[in-house]
Amino acid sequence: MKILVLHPDFEDPGGVSAYYKKLESRYTFPVDHFVTGKRPLEKGDIAKITRLIKDYWNFLTKIKKDNYDVIHVNPSLDPRSFFRDGMFLLLARMHKKKTVVFFHGWQETFARKIQNNGMWRFKYLYGKVDAFIVLAEEFKKTLESWGCPQPVIREVIVIDDDILKEFDIHQAIEKRIRSEKWRILFLSRILREKGIYETIEAVSILGKKYPQIELIIAGDGEELENIKTYVHKNSISNVIFAGYVVGEEKCRLLEGSHILCFPTYYSEGFPNTIVESMAFGIPVVTRPVGGIADFFKNGEHGFTTTSKEPGDFANSMEKLFLDVELYRKISMCNYRYAIENFLASQAASRLGKIYKSVLEK
């Protein structure tokens, strides 16, 4: 069994490249990689078009030269990725290759366009795929409602097994509880729809009652400068901007944070920030969108609400701040759940079973 996986450059900061980087050393079968999408330092439409043509040509050359059993494509359900990766599927089908599609992102507005007047495009580009993988039950139900006869498998985002080898959850919990500062973490791309303003307002409410509470904002994105201006204009003093963090710096940040606040109303698949936080035993306060709704249990993994009101998120975080035993219980629950479900080695094994099932059809 030989697999070719198409994904963005490993230098890309996005979730898809991070996912396959974590899996790279975990496969027990031959897997080759083919890079698609925007490259580092790429600028301008001409460079984009030239690169896209080269990608299709190099892909054709590669699948002609090497005898791959399965071609695994990783689009998002958005216009750009949908059509770009759909062409790779057509080329694979022309050469009679088995194909697997893993939808990592899911844009609801585009899904509605397909539903209303674009179903023929979906059937033409994706109708002959051998199996789909999605990150949320609602995405699975949508594909099934579109009449897709293929298997639709739900997957999760993962964390690298090695990151947790030296991590002592009991020591981390007790250290957090004894800490003079209580650190609320917002770790994500800085977009309005990720709930960054709601998080700041919630922590501002808490800070007026409990001066030891502070907010750490880690990440970058299009809303970052506006957020800094907002914090300054409103004289919110308990906010720290950590910037974009990776590697050991991110691990230290996760190990020392008390709560993840992530009141997202974005079109989420399965947010990486929740997986990473739970793996480090951090209780989560969030909203039940995308794949979060499929597993997250209110009161067990933290707290979830359909509300967008900052006061509601503040109330949930206050419960964790005031109740030490509740904090310990949820921290341990999250850590155990993560190591049972979110490890890269487990995901690699599950993918292997999917590929085998496709080949046995």
pTM here is 0.91
172 and 225 fall within a common domain: yes
Amino acid at 253: L
- Looking at residue 361, what is its pLDDT? 80
Q: Which two tokens stand for residue 41?
A: 């330092």
Looking at the structure, do residues 120 and 210 belong to the same domain, yes or no? no
**Residues 6+ away with beta carbon under 8 Å from 344:** 22, 23, 26, 158, 159, 160, 161
Mark whether 284 and 355 lie in a shared domain: no
Quick one: what percent of the chain has pLDDT higher than 70?
100
Sign of CA dihedral 320, 326, 327, 329: negative
- Is residue 94 located within the same domain as residue 177? no
Is residue 12 over pLDDT 90? no
Is the domain of 306 the same as that of 230? Answer: yes
Q: 55-75: per-residue pLDDT in tens?
A: 999 999 999 999 999 999 999
Q: What DSSP state is assigned to residue 156?
A: -
| 187 in the same domain as 304 | yes
Domain containing residue 280: 161-341
pLDDT digits (tens, 9 = 90+) for 132-148: 999 999 999 999 999 99
Which whole number is the average pLDDT over 100-104?
97
Q: What is the mean pLDDT of residues 186-202?
A: 96
Q: pLDDT band for 41, please (50, 70, 90 cuts).
A: confident
Residue ranges in the chain assigned as alpha helix (H): 15-23, 45-65, 79-94, 108-113, 119-126, 137-145, 169-178, 196-209, 224-233, 247-256, 272-279, 292-295, 310-322, 324-341, 344-360
Work out the angle at residue 318's Cα, subtended by the Cα atoms of residues 313 and 321, and round it to the nearest 5 degrees. Answer: 135
- On whether both 352 and 337 belong to a single domain, the answer is no
Residue 310 and residue 189 share a domain: yes
Q: Domain check: are 279 and 182 in the same one?
A: yes
Mean pLDDT, rounded, of the chain: 95
178 and 284 share a domain? yes
Asked if pLDDT for residue 268 goes beyond 90, the answer is no
- pLDDT tier at 13 (50, 70, 90 boundaries)? confident
Whichever domain contains 263, its CATH number is 3.40.50.2000
- The count of domains in the chain is 2
**Pick from 5-19, 275-289, 317-331: least confident:** 5-19
Mean pLDDT of 14-26: 90
Nearest CA to 282 out of 359, 212, 177 is that of 177
- For residues 47 and 75, state if they share a domain: yes
Contact in structure between 304 and 315 (CB atoms under 8 Å): no
* Mean pLDDT (whole number) for 220-239: 94
> Average pLDDT of 261-271?
91
